[in-house]
């Protein structure tokens, strides 16, 4: 049980940012310093692919779902983060999906009002629509169509050009997300027949989707667990509208997101079905142009009159993740070198060497939970700040120097723990490790256990044999 995992008191590291001082969801027009960063594919922006799927949907699991997974695994982890991907889960046909929430369903109905059609995908806010209940002339939700839709979306050049940066940090309970927006210029086409100059005003809308990579959940279609990418969990910010002119910026838009332990399904709050691993969570920030409802296949008639799909949905102008922003800013994440954990008397010491060439570290955490066959459905993740050598504090702010780091976990001798380490530098650039499993037993205890079991087994067999011989002895005359 996770209740058996008790954190041992250790020196807590104060994070060098004050989340209680965050200015909330406000921002002022001002200057923004951006670097010229070329898109990895030479596209004008990073398109976003919104995928609506269901673990109980046979057409999803046999076609669009593995195709989208394949495409993301081929291109999603390339340097520079060329495009972004969000996976929304839905129920269809009376099936079941532990990742479905009311918010994910509402996002599908935004593109397909009143309808739940899976599988379906929307690239760049519906610039290209695929599958689902879109019209018969919409492309299929296939690997080749997804790849083509992303290319067509990313090469759009007659749009308002927007630079977008996002950074995020996790303090063990919540994520703080910081957004910077710069409206560079209006590249929209001029229509001479209109006799009017195009309006340069950007009426934008910002969404911050919190997604989790490497999620495992049960599929009734596959009759087994399925691993997925970038599953939508909740919004950190749903729909912040803003207005800018070319050359203007919005700096330091902040949003906080607490890792939930409950979800809403059909307006009923219930415990979360698949616990969230904060080490795999990151924000996807997306800006939409509320004045651009053009479509690659429709007339922009919208859905209010039963139009063709949601041609009237606003087109996306740019999307960003912390990893993509770090690439644009030429920022290197902290490096984490795991040491061998030590175990003794139910205490496990997690060791690592954390370093950052770009400056001082801000925070380091161990994210962990009990490792059992039922962990995926039963146990939420906990966290423990890592003690860093060479901490220097002035008041409530601590500067963490590079060097050896450790955290001590107190667990039962028979328990194994799965954990990963995450670290942030002063720019909120994140470094992390893969999930690793460690046992509370010392190597000597673990090595002696098989001999103990063998010895106990021999004694048990001898006792059973003795009992059988005693039971079969001749009865006295």
What is 135-150 written as a DSSP string? -TTSPPSSHHHHHHHH
Strands 392-394 vs 397-399: parallel, antiparallel or unpaired: antiparallel
Looking at the structure, tell me whether residues 166 and 281 fall in a common domain. yes
Looking at the structure, tell me whether residues 349 and 291 fall in a common domain. no
As given in the structure block, the two tokens for residue 435 are 């999930």
Residue 301 domain-assigned (yes or no) = yes
Q: Sign (positive/negative) of CA torsion 184, 189, 192, 196?
A: negative
* Contact status, residue 209 vs residue 284, Cβ threshold 8 Å: yes
Looking at the structure, tell me whether residues 317 and 354 fall in a common domain. no
- Residue at a domain's end among 280, 299, 328: 328
- The domain of 165 spans 36-328
Structure confidence at residue 350 (pLDDT): 85
Which residue is associated with the tokens 């009002």?
113
Structure confidence at residue 341 (pLDDT): 84
Terminal-to-terminal C-alpha distance of the chain: 57
H/E segment holding residue 105: helix 102-111
Structure confidence at residue 1 (pLDDT): 36
- Residue at a domain's end among 328, 357, 381: 328
* Contact status, residue 319 vs residue 286, Cβ threshold 8 Å: yes
Q: Per-residue confidence of the chain (477 residues) as pLDDT tens digits?
A: 333 322 222 222 333 333 333 333 333 444 444 455 688 899 999 999 999 999 999 999 999 999 999 999 999 999 899 999 999 999 876 678 999 999 999 999 888 876 767 899 999 998 988 887 666 666 678 999 999 999 999 999 999 999 999 999 999 989 999 999 999 999 887 766 666 667 899 999 999 999 999 999 999 999 999 999 999 999 999 999 999 999 999 999 999 999 999 999 999 999 999 999 999 999 999 999 999 886 544 433 444 443 344 456 899 999 999 999 999 998 889 889 888 888 776 678 888 888 876 567 788 899 988 887 665 665 778 888 887 665 544 444 444 445 567 777 766 666 788 899 999 988 899 999 998 888 765 555 545 444 444 455 555 555 555 555 555 556 554
Residue 382 domain-assigned (yes or no) = yes
CA distance 383 to 349: 14
| Backbone angles phi and psi of 358, in degrees to 5 | -90, 0
Residue 199 domain-assigned (yes or no) = yes
Residue 232 domain-assigned (yes or no) = yes
Looking at the structure, tell me whether residues 278 and 382 fall in a common domain. no
Looking at the structure, tell me whether residues 116 and 240 fall in a common domain. yes
How many domains are contained in the chain?
Answer: 2
Structure confidence at residue 117 (pLDDT): 79
Looking at the structure, tell me whether residues 212 and 340 fall in a common domain. no
Residue 461 domain-assigned (yes or no) = no
Structure confidence at residue 242 (pLDDT): 96
Looking at the structure, tell me whether residues 222 and 169 fall in a common domain. yes
Looking at the structure, tell me whether residues 270 and 339 fall in a common domain. no
Enter the DSSP assignment of 192. Answer: G
Residue 449 domain-assigned (yes or no) = no
H/E segment holding residue 47: none
Looking at the structure, tell me whether residues 84 and 178 fall in a common domain. yes
H/E segment holding residue 161: strand 160-170
Looking at the structure, tell me whether residues 396 and 259 fall in a common domain. no
Looking at the structure, tell me whether residues 323 and 339 fall in a common domain. no
Residue 464 domain-assigned (yes or no) = no
Which residue is associated with the tokens 């009865």?
475
* Contact status, residue 340 vs residue 406, Cβ threshold 8 Å: no
Find the CATH number of the domain harbouring 347. 2.60.40.10
Cα-based distances in Å from 253 to 157, 207, 399:
26, 12, 25
CA distance 365 to 406: 9
Residue 460 domain-assigned (yes or no) = no
Looking at the structure, tell me whether residues 80 and 207 fall in a common domain. yes
């Amino acid at each position: 049980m996770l209740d058996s995992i008790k954190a041992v008191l250790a020196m807590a590291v104060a994070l060098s940012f004050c989340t209680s001082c965050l200015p909330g969801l406000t921002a002022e027009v001002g200057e923004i310093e951006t670097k010229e960063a070329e898109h990895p594919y030479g596209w004008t922006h990073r398109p976003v692919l919104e995928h609506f799927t269901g673990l109980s949907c046979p057409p999803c699991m046999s076609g669009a779902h593995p195709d989208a997974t394949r495409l993301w695994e081929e291109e999603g982890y390339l340097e520079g983060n060329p495009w972004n991907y969000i996976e929304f889960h839905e129920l269809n046909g009376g099936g079941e999906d532990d990742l479905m929430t009311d918010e994910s369903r509402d996002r599908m109905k935004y593109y397909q009002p009143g309808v739940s059609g899976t599988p379906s995908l929307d690239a760049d806010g519906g610039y290209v629509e695929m599958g689902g209940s879109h019209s018969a002339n919409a492309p299929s939700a296939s690997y080749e169509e997804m790849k083509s839709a992303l290319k067509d979306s990313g090469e759009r050049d007659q749009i308002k050009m927007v630079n977008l940066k996002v950074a995020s940090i996790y303090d063990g309970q919540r994520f703080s997300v910081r957004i910077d927006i710069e409206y560079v210029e209006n590249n929209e086409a001029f229509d001479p027949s209109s006799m009017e100059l195009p309006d340069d005003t950007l009426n934008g809308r910002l969404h911050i989707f919190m997604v989790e990579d490497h999620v495992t959940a049960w599929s009734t279609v596959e009759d087994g667990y399925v691993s997925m990418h970038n599953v939508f969990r909740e919004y950190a910010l749903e729909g912040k509208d803003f207005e800018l002119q070319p050359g203007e910026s919005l700096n330091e838009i902040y949003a906080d997101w607490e890792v939930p332990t409950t979800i809403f399904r059909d307006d009923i709050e219930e415990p979360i079905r698949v616990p969230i691993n904060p080490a795999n969570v990151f924000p996807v920030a997306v800006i939409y142009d509320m004045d651009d409802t053009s479509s690659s296949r429709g007339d922009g008639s919208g859905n209010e009159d039963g139009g063709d799909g949601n041609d009237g949905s606003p087109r996306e102008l740019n999307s960003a993740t912390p990893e993509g922003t770090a690439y644009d800013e030429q920022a290197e994440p902290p490096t984490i070198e795991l040491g061998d954990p030590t175990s003794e008397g139910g205490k496990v010491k997690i060791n690592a060497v954390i370093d950052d060439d770009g400056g001082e570290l801000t925070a380091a955490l161990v994210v962990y939970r009990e490792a059992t066959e039922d962990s995926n459905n039963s146990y939420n993740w906990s966290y423990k700040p890592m003690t860093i050598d060479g901490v220097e504090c002035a008041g409530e702010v601590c500067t963490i120097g590079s060097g050896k780091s450790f955290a001590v976990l107190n667990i039962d001798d028979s328990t194994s723990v799965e954990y990963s380490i995450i670290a942030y530098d002063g720019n909120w650039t994140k470094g992390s490790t893969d999930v690793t499993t460690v046992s509370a037993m010392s190597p000597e205890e673990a090595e002696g256990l098989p001999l103990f079991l063998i010895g106990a087994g021999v004694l048990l067999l001898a006792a059973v044999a003795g009992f059988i011989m005693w039971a079969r002895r001749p009865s006295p005359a």
